[in-house]
Structure 1
Amino acid sequence: MPSPAPSAKKPPVQEAAPAPATNANAPAASGAAAAPSTPSAARTAGRGGLAIAFAKVSFIVFGFAQQLLLEGLLGQAGYGQISRVLAIVGVLNNVVVATAIQGVSRAVSTAPEGHVDAAFARTLRVHVALAVVLSLGFALAAGTIATAVGAPHVATPLRLVAAVVLLYGVYAPLVGSLNGRRRFLDQAGLDVGYGLLRTVGMGAGAFVLLRLGGSGTLGAAMGFVTAAALIVPIALTRSGVGHAGAGGPSARDYLGFLGPLALGQIALNLLLQTDFLLLSRFAGQEAGRLGLAASASDDLLGIYRGVQLFSFLPYQLLMSVSFVLFPMLARARAERSEPLVAEYTRAGVRIALVVTGAVAGTIAALAPHVLRFAYKSSAIWEHGGPVLRVLAIGMGSFAILGISSAALTGLGRERASAAFNALAVCLVALGCVVVTPRLPFGPTMLLGTAISTSIALGLVCVVAAIALRREAGAFVAPLSLVRVFVAAGVTVAVGMRMPWLGKLAVLVEAHVMGALYLAVLVVTGEIGKKDLSLVLKVLGKPERAGDRVRRT
């Protein structure tokens, strides 16, 4: 299972697993931050975030391997089919996971000594009951959902993965208890282990059923269920189930806490999938109107999912920043230290901006080459290259929106954070509804969807940045914005002229683009010695006295 993170989840790499983009780690982080505000406390928060971030990076790697493996086994149309299944169930799974981890972690971390196991047992019962209801409801509604997204042919695998909703509903609170107890190594181990199980399970399932003459999509879904079934007993050996007793919130109070949290997560996860699901609906409808086979729209969805896989990278990689930023902001606000709030906000957003520019700029610069490097189908890189250029920049805005939302949540403005996610959902949906169905069936639909989605995310990113600036008294220096935009622009302009020299050359070109981006930032004065000091502080390494004197 991916590591929880403030603000947002789950991108395509992870839609097949519990949500990464959530506020799930917030309770533990807040609990950890409750210690006296000292340099060691900041280092503890940073190290805890880095430990889970390491597991998250591992999970991203497994997720990439899974996506590329499935495309190679199933082909472009089959990849589009399984992507539809994972996108649909991922919305519900991510909400289940995010609310369970955050809710149980909060209950466990705030329980008085001696009542932790009772609090865990009580909240676990609530989540198991919810998992049964949601899993059954999803299975019953699978046919209706499949038809609504223009893909009635995926109803059977959708019914099958309803079992994953049940299994995640049990697994996530187990992980939440580890998070609340700050057993980050156990949590990270489960994340890495599940990432491996899921990748192997889905690949093996698809391969076996294809060899038997069956549906590779159904086989991948069976592998997904199998992996989730295996990780639950493994997690039980690490977390236990607690024990009955007086401790923890009542079921009514606990559900009252989960309700608003779930609404925010629903908005967030719909945001991650709105463009894909609406494209699925409109492409499926248009294919039917033209008398084409269902596989025609599957082909288009396979291209768009391939594009999304890379465009979500900036957001996924920025979650480690959230792990560090969230608890530090929460503690600074609790201590009414507004100068520290402004300092942490400015530093955190600046790091996020620099990282986003590097990743999104490099991907946009080499978009067709990146897709050609990764995918077997030539249609994905031929038609997906221009789409990825646009969506990489749009998802860069989404990454900054995620950091802004995490910061607002850390400052006690959860409702504002959720409101921005809801606004983004509405704007993305509006853009797709207005643009996509008016375009001719084919790659043009993909590009139109990417453009409308990117514009919507950019607008909400600006609004959220203004809100964070007002709340924290800082955002990021305007000159830093200009420098990052210039560096990214130079990187994209140069990268667009890079020729195709083979797959191995793509790795070299990516490093060259990243080096070019950093070089522009160094030349313009955006990156310097202060940045090294910040990295050393987070890692807990002492600065030399001379460094402190010079900075003073």
Structure 2
Amino acid sequence: MATDASELSKGGLSLGFAKLFFLIAGYAVSIALTRLVPPGTFGDYTVVSQIIAIPNMVLIQTLLFAVSRPMSAEFDAGLPSYDGLRRRGFRLAAGLGGLVAVVFILGADLLAEYALKDPALAGALRMVGIIPLIYAAYAVNVGTLNAIRKFQFQAGLDIFMAMTKTTLIVGAAAMGFGLAEILGGFTFASLLAFALSILFVARCRPRTAGGGAGPLPAMAEFTGLLLVFTAGVNLLQALDLVLLKQFTTTAAQKDALGFYSSANLVARVPYSMMNAVSLVMFPLIASLQAQSDRAQIERYVTATAKVSLFLLCFMSSVGAGAAPEVQRLLFPAAYGEAAGELRLLVWGMSGYSLTVTAAWIFNSSRRSQLALLLIAVPLVVVSAAGFVLVPQSFTSGAATAVAIGGAAGAIVSLVALARSLGAALSPVFLVKLLAAVALVEVVSRTWAPTSKPLILVKLALLAAAFLAAIVVTRAVTPAELRELRKKRAP
């Protein structure tokens, strides 16, 4: 048992490092592109990347789960259905991934003309169209490595994908290639990662693995719901960019979309960082649910909601307070035009993050329909607000729509957690949090540095101001943070 615990601990560290590396590499690509291509091209790159990310993430997360869960259940029994589960996974990958690839490749002209209002993007969409099929097959291999606990190999694939994607995309841009060729770097990187995954799976095949000739274990109960849920989550992140692209008619608006894309990228940092909360809490809440421990679930979900809101307000208040400086720090000077949008986007995306975190809590407690409903709230609100505001105010309208949608999602999520799981947050805690945010806003207006070293100093000062307010008011205590890290004993 000690050996198993050590293996899982090392694997968790490997995967954590790989995910962080992948995240940093993704931001490095976008920051590099703002310096290598015109703003309009960068905006188009971001839009196409976000559109293809929707089916990519749906396929990889759903197929990884569908393969890993039943295979993991057979691990101690020697994996008698190993080959059969993999064959079933590849059939599903070919069906789902192949269908999406056909839609993108054959329907690129229609998607570009009617969905994005830009026929020139057909070549770029066609270039990335094969990626969903590659990712679907890749997910089967990643799910296999996950199930047989070869976490270091799984982490290695993430790192390899990030490195090759960064090198090929940035290299293509540096050599002056167009948008389709730049995105072709993504396609080629996915092919290379898939080839490496085949080698890893072949090397790691367990000696006891069986052919799976008999009846196979059933897939997870909510695989279908997970597919719809993941699609909704990823659509939510891309919706503002798609709306903007539909209303882009002039060269100035195309550049403005590029500037907005940079702010959108920065605003995703709190969202991306909070993914770790979902990964940690999912198995713990599922375990407590299996034990029917209502009181323990209520305490844990309350603590999760409290700390999540604290972290989101911390990151968002600092990002919003120093929005002009952040844009100047990361991007060329022209991208500073999007500072106002960043102030709104960072709060809207934080609302998205809280909504998704709450939805995962309901998923892990077997309330997937409620999870889907929570994701639907900001989707509907952003769509409605965007169609009203974007034609009038363009990028500021899109950012306002995201802020409204994020706020709606956050409010509904907190109400749902309180009514369904008893995880109500104290009004006093919310007031303390609001006071910390207000302090950061006041401090941010006292100084506007222009040099990069001084910008970093300002960011540190804003962070210190927020944390000082939290410490003085005892809004969140170190004991509460430590409590979330403890795994409940059965």
* TM-score (norm: length of structure 2): 0.91
Which residue matches 1:221?
Answer: 183
Partner SS state of residue 312, structure 1 = helix
Which residue matches 2:103?
Answer: 137
Instruction: Please say if residues 58 and 227 of structure 2, whose CA atoms lie closer than 8 Å, have aligned partners that are also in contact.
Output: yes
Residue 44 of structure 1, CA deviation: 9.4
Distance in 2 between the 1:471 and 1:536 partners?
A: 24
> Which among 311, 316, 338 is matched to residue 384 of structure 1?
338
Aligned CA distance change for structure 1 residues 196 and 243 (closer, same or farther; 3 Å): farther
Unpaired runs of at least 5, structure 2: none
Instruction: Please say if residues 303 and 484 of structure 2, whose CA atoms lie closer than 8 Å, have aligned partners that are also in contact.
Output: no
What is the letter of the counterpart of residue 327 of structure 2? L
Which residue matches 1:167?
Answer: 134
- Structure 1 range deviating more: 469-478 or 60-69: 469-478
Partner SS state of residue 150, structure 1 = coil
Residue 48 of structure 1, CA deviation: 6.2
Which residue matches 2:319?
Answer: 363
Instruction: Please say if residues 371 and 385 of structure 1, whose CA atoms lie closer than 8 Å, have aligned partners that are also in contact.
Output: yes
Unpaired runs of at least 5, structure 1: 1-34, 541-552
Residue 531 of structure 1, CA deviation: 4.2
Distance in 2 between the 1:93 and 1:268 partners?
A: 12
Q: Deviations over 1:254-298 (max 9, x none)?
A: 598543322222222111111110111012xxx2xxxx4xx4433
Aligned CA distance change for structure 1 residues 180 and 390 (closer, same or farther; 3 Å): same
Aligned CA distance change for structure 1 residues 257 and 356 (closer, same or farther; 3 Å): closer
Residue 189 of structure 1, CA deviation: 2.2
Residue 133 of structure 1, CA deviation: 2.5
Partner SS state of residue 79, structure 2 = coil
Aligned CA distance change for structure 1 residues 532 and 416 (closer, same or farther; 3 Å): closer
Which residue matches 2:48?
Answer: 85
Distance in 2 between the 1:373 and 1:219 partners?
A: 28
Distance in 2 between the 1:532 and 1:258 partners?
A: 32
- Structure 1 range deviating more: 128-137 or 297-306: 128-137
Distance in 2 between the 1:523 and 1:42 partners?
A: 38
Instruction: Please say if residues 121 and 244 of structure 1, whose CA atoms lie closer than 8 Å, have aligned partners that are also in contact.
Output: no
Which residue matches 2:395?
Answer: 446
Distance in 2 between the 1:393 and 1:485 partners?
A: 13
Residue 227 of structure 1, CA deviation: 0.8
> Which among 270, 274, 277 is matched to residue 318 of structure 1?
274
Which residue matches 2:159?
Answer: 192
Residue 435 of structure 1, CA deviation: 1.6
Distance in 1 between the 2:226 and 2:354 partners?
A: 21
Q: Deviations over 1:290-345 (max 9, x none)?
A: xx4xx443312211110111111111101111111111111111101112101211
- Structure 1 range deviating more: 113-122 or 221-230: 113-122
Residue 103 of structure 1, CA deviation: 1.4
Instruction: Please say if residues 46 and 323 of structure 1, whose CA atoms lie closer than 8 Å, have aligned partners that are also in contact.
Output: no
Instruction: Please say if residues 345 and 403 of structure 2, whose CA atoms lie closer than 8 Å, have aligned partners that are also in contact.
Output: yes
Which residue matches 1:260?
Answer: 225
Which residue matches 2:263?
Answer: 307
Q: What pairs with 1:477-492 in structure 2 (closer than 5 Å)?
A: 477-492=426-441
Considering only aligned residues, what root-mean-square deviation do their CA atoms show, in Å?
Answer: 2.7
Which residue matches 1:54?
Answer: 17
Instruction: Please say if residues 45 and 327 of structure 1, whose CA atoms lie closer than 8 Å, have aligned partners that are also in contact.
Output: no
What is the letter of the counterpart of residue 227 of structure 1? A
Distance in 2 between the 1:150 and 1:201 partners?
A: 28
Partner SS state of residue 212, structure 2 = coil
Q: What pairs with 1:427-446 in structure 2 (closer than 5 Å)?
A: 427-437=381-391, 439=392, 444-446=393-395
Distance in 1 between the 2:484 and 2:374 partners?
A: 30
> Which among 383, 391, 394 is matched to residue 348 of structure 2?
394
Instruction: Please say if residues 325 and 450 of structure 2, whose CA atoms lie closer than 8 Å, have aligned partners that are also in contact.
Output: no
Between the two proteins, what is the percent identity of the paired residues? 27
Instruction: Please say if residues 268 and 418 of structure 1, whose CA atoms lie closer than 8 Å, have aligned partners that are also in contact.
Output: no
What is the letter of the counterpart of residue 338 of structure 2? G
Distance in 2 between the 1:454 and 1:492 partners?
A: 17
Which residue matches 1:232?
Answer: 194
Instruction: Please say if residues 62 and 199 of structure 1, whose CA atoms lie closer than 8 Å, have aligned partners that are also in contact.
Output: yes
Partner SS state of residue 247, structure 2 = helix
What is the letter of the counterpart of residue 441 of structure 2? V
Q: Deviations over 1:324-369 (max 9, x none)?
A: 1111111111101112101211222222112111111110010011
> Which among 364, 368, 377 is matched to residue 410 of structure 1?
364
Distance in 2 between the 1:151 and 1:446 partners?
A: 18
What is the letter of the counterpart of residue 151 of structure 1? D
**Any runs of at least 4 consecutive aligned residues in structure 1 with deviations exceeding 6 A, and if so which?**
40-48
Distance in 1 between the 2:308 and 2:445 partners?
A: 24
Q: Deviations over 1:488-531 (max 9, x none)?
A: 22112321332123112222211111111111100001243414
Instruction: Please say if residues 322 and 444 of structure 2, whose CA atoms lie closer than 8 Å, have aligned partners that are also in contact.
Output: yes
- Structure 1 range deviating more: 174-183 or 42-51: 42-51
What is the letter of the counterpart of residue 322 of structure 1? S
Residue 41 of structure 1, CA deviation: 11
Partner SS state of residue 394, structure 2 = helix
Residue 149 of structure 1, CA deviation: 1.3
Distance in 2 between the 1:337 and 1:407 partners?
A: 15
Q: Deviations over 1:157-182 (max 9, x none)?
A: 11011121221111112112222333
Distance in 1 between the 2:79 and 2:173 partners?
A: 47
Which residue matches 1:98?
Answer: 61
- Structure 1 range deviating more: 445-454 or 527-536: 527-536
Q: Deviations over 1:13-49 (max 9, x none)?
A: xxxxxxxxxxxxxxxxxxxxxx9xxxx9999988866
* TM-score (norm: length of structure 1): 0.81
Partner SS state of residue 37, structure 2 = helix
Distance in 1 between the 2:212 and 2:433 partners?
A: 55
